[in-house]
Amino acid sequence: MAEASAAAGNAQPAVSDRLIGFLDAWVPKPAAWAFALRIWLAMMIALAAAFWLQLDSASSAATCVAILAQPKRGQAISKAIYRLLGTLIGAIVSIVFMSLFGQDRVLLLVSFTVWMGLCVFTAQYLQDTRAYGAMLSGYTVAIIALGQIDEPQGTFDAAVSRVAVIVLGIIVITFINDALASPSTWRTLLPQLRKAWDDTRAYARETLDKGDLGASRTAALIRTIAPMRADASAIAGELDDGPWRAAGARSCIAALYVLAAAIRAVVAAAACLRTRSPAVEEALEICRRVAEDPDLASLEQDDERLRDLVDAAIRDGNRPLDEVVVLQRALDVVCAATFAQDGIRAVADGHEPLRDARLPTHRDFPVALRGALRVAVGFAVTAAVFVALGLPQASFALVQVAATAALSSTTPDPKKFANGVVIGMTLASTFAGIARFVFLDGVQGFPMLAIVMAPVIFFGCFLSLNPKTFGIGFIVIVFFPVLLGPSNPQSYDAQTFLLNAFLVVVAAIILSIVVRLLLPISAQQQRVYALDSARQALADALVGDGGDATTRTSLNADRLFQFAGYSSGSRAVRRASLSHAFALARLEAAAARAHAELRRLWPIDPLRAAIQRGRAALAAGDDRALEIGARDLIRAASRQDRGVRLTTARAASDLVTAARTIARHRRFLRRLDIALF
């Protein structure tokens, strides 16, 4: 009996723990309830204002709020700005297209298809909300022009009405976010930056203790840094000092990329030295201090000390090349740590940071082209089918196809988003039917409408906050008001509603089929495209067209971040692929920096012969000539002033880095057919 009682006592806590775990996983947190409340209030206010102003398609105001539904203020403001710009461009293009092709539906559909393809292609090369604005300018033409395909004379009024409801939605969501204290993006980003700073220093400590941790471990670190770029761009519109906070965030992110690369270079160069001089040991000790928790004062002292060590090494003229690399890369570590800490402080207090670094996004031309063609061809085929069938509400269905196809083009996984669209459209149609014909049947009062819409809006917001169900939740809150079609007076035409619901579900199914069958891109193709892009970038960098070095480092980090997601196969294959990708990035960055520093040194006549040999060695991919060129450059600069010697140290260290990378990965680099290698 005692044993049975004990077993029952142990089972009861286990059941309660499982229950608590289930509730914790599925019951929305207070922040989720606050977010849903803000969006519901904003949608109801926008809807009421649209009714009061007697705007056409009042439900579009609520839909605008739903599209701008973001948990953080900066994200909503940034998206609102580009939504307005995209709507204005789309409205103008709609008027132009209708004035030119209003009497010819075929030409109108063809021109719109081409326009939407161009917008989607452009969106592939932009970032975050900018990409959304470009994509929106494409399907806005569908909403305005195709919606007026039977009444071309109403296009201008439809465009004005569309802009009016968008402006109304933006004003309302901005007011609600401010009035109800929506969380600021910078407050959310700040702890993420601090954690990334801690993770990068931990990576540096581990590298100094154990040696190079390899490509996989470095890629894992990049995966913690890269996603912060989106929030960094959204900070600028939040406060008066928002641009400085945003610049600080970008500077910190770029510095973390550089710090990770520089500490690997320090350890690799130190491993090549047979004996370590006192200067090398001191540089390594400084790197260890940086990997702890340095303050700005100590970083300034370490920076000055390392500059003295680098200057002494160049002035000597006969130090081992790898020693120069260790000293210079240790200096890079200190500089990166300084920028990282300054950037974090700028985000926290809003002061002007030391620099404003760019964080470009890597895009592959074949991927962008395929995405644009997929949307354009998918829409064209759907339009042809709907026109041939002679459906009475074909224009409504085409608008939904255009909108969902364009939205899918800017998502990381179009197939996953398409699945979410199918489920979300089905749920939105079901909820709209229940709301209209069960709870609102014959009711014309606005309070009842707001109450009936609340559960669906809250449900959609909760789903949208979960990354796994974001697509479903987003489609529910956006298309629920579209299908419900609140108007004054409210219409209860069941046949029209059922046909609209059927068409949006068909549009979702068409999207799901299109993204799977029409120009699909496999992970293997993604790797091939990324490799070809890296190959072209390396070819440009070797001949001196690599561009700004800091920008290239950030761009390479983003390419590596994407490439790591494409990797498949066995662990050994993934490790080898990542190693080659990092080698290309390292060689490209070294070549770009070397050419930049050599250009700065060109006015110094005694250095020109060595500079020419270094440039020729880079263009030929000759590792031995690169080492000889670095040695000649150091000897020629040993008799110059301190500024020239420090610049020479940067150029020579990059030439040596390029030489070491070529020597280690020669067999792989030869297959790229860029230089002799």
Q: Which long-range contacts (CB under 8 A, 24 or more apart) does 235-241 make?
A: 235/74, 235/185, 235/186, 235/189, 235/347, 236/74, 236/78, 237/74, 237/77, 237/78, 237/81, 238/73, 238/74, 238/77, 238/184, 238/185, 238/186, 239/184, 239/186, 239/350, 241/350, 241/351
- The tokens for 611 are 């500079």
CB 182 within 8 A of CB 38: yes
How many other C-beta atoms can be found within 10 angstroms of the C-beta atom of residue 545?
A: 12
Predicted confidence at residue 8, as pLDDT, reads 46
What is residue 160's three-state secondary structure? Answer: helix
Tens digits of per-residue pLDDT, 306-363?
999 999 999 988 899 999 999 999 999 999 999 999 999 999 998 999 898 888 888 8
Under 8 Å between Cβ of 299 and 236: no
Could you give the CA distance from residue 488 to residue 502 in angstroms, rounded to a whole number?
24
| Cα end-to-end distance, the chain, whole Å | 80
- pLDDT of 7 reads 46
Euclidean distance between CA atoms 92 and 160, whole angstroms: 10
Q: What is the CATH number of domain 185-349?
A: 1.20.120
The answer to whether residues 102 and 199 touch, using CB atoms and an 8 Å cutoff, is: no
Q: For residue 173, give both structure tokens.
A: 């969501």
Is-contact 326 280, C-beta < 8 A? yes
Distance CA 138, CA 140 (A): 6
Q: Is 333 helix (H, G, I), strand (E, B) or coil?
A: helix
Q: Tell me how far CA of residue 460 lies from CA of 24, 186, 399, 423, in angstroms.
A: 19, 25, 22, 12
* Amino acid residing at 1: M
Q: Tokens in use for 624? A: 């031995």
Please classify residue 495 by burial: count the beta carbons closer than 10 Å to its beta carbon, then call 0-12 exposed, 13-18 middle and 19+ buried: exposed
CA distance 39 to 172: 10
Question: Could you state, in order of their start, the residue ranges of all structural domains in the chain?
Answer: 30-183+364-486+495-517, 185-349, 523-672
In what helix (H) or strand (E) does residue 145 lie, and over which residues does it extend? none
H helices of 435-522, where? Answer: 446-464, 470-484, 494-517
pLDDT at 26: 64
Interatomic CA distance for residues 621 and 633, integer angstroms: 18
pLDDT along the chain (677 residues), means of 10: 48 58 67 88 89 81 83 76 88 88 81 88 82 84 79 82 86 78 80 94 94 88 89 77 89 93 93 91 93 86 94 91 94 95 92 88 84 84 76 74 80 82 92 88 79 92 88 90 80 81 85 82 80 86 75 80 71 77 89 91 92 92 92 92 93 93 88 73
Contacts of 257 (CB under 8 A, 6+ apart): 222, 225, 553, 554, 557
Buried residues in 53-79 as b, exposed as e (16+ CB within 10 A): eebebbbbbbbbbbbbbbbbbbbbbbb
CA angle 642, 645, 647 (to 5 degrees): 110
The Cα diameter of the chain in Å comes to: 98
Contact between 450 and 402 under an 8 Å Cβ cutoff? The reply is no
| Residue whose tokens read 């920028």 | 339
- Give the pLDDT confidence score for residue 139 in this predicted structure: 80
Q: Which 8-state DSSP code applies to residue 28? A: P
What does the pLDDT look like over 186-238, one tens digit per residue?
Answer: 888 999 999 999 999 999 999 999 988 888 899 899 999 988 888 887 787 77
Question: In terms of Cα–Cα distance, which of 604, 592, 564 is closest to 650?
Answer: 592
Torsion of CA 584, 589, 594, 597, to 10 degrees: 170
Cα angle: 553, vertex 558, 559; to 5 degrees: 95
Query: Residue type for 657, please?
Result: T
Report in angstroms the alpha-carbon separations of 197 from 50, 286, 347. Answer: 47, 17, 13
CA distance 292 to 507: 55
User: Alpha-carbon distance 373 to 379, whole Å?
Assistant: 10
Taking a C-beta distance cutoff of 8 angstroms, is the pair 596, 647 a contact? no
SS3 1: coil
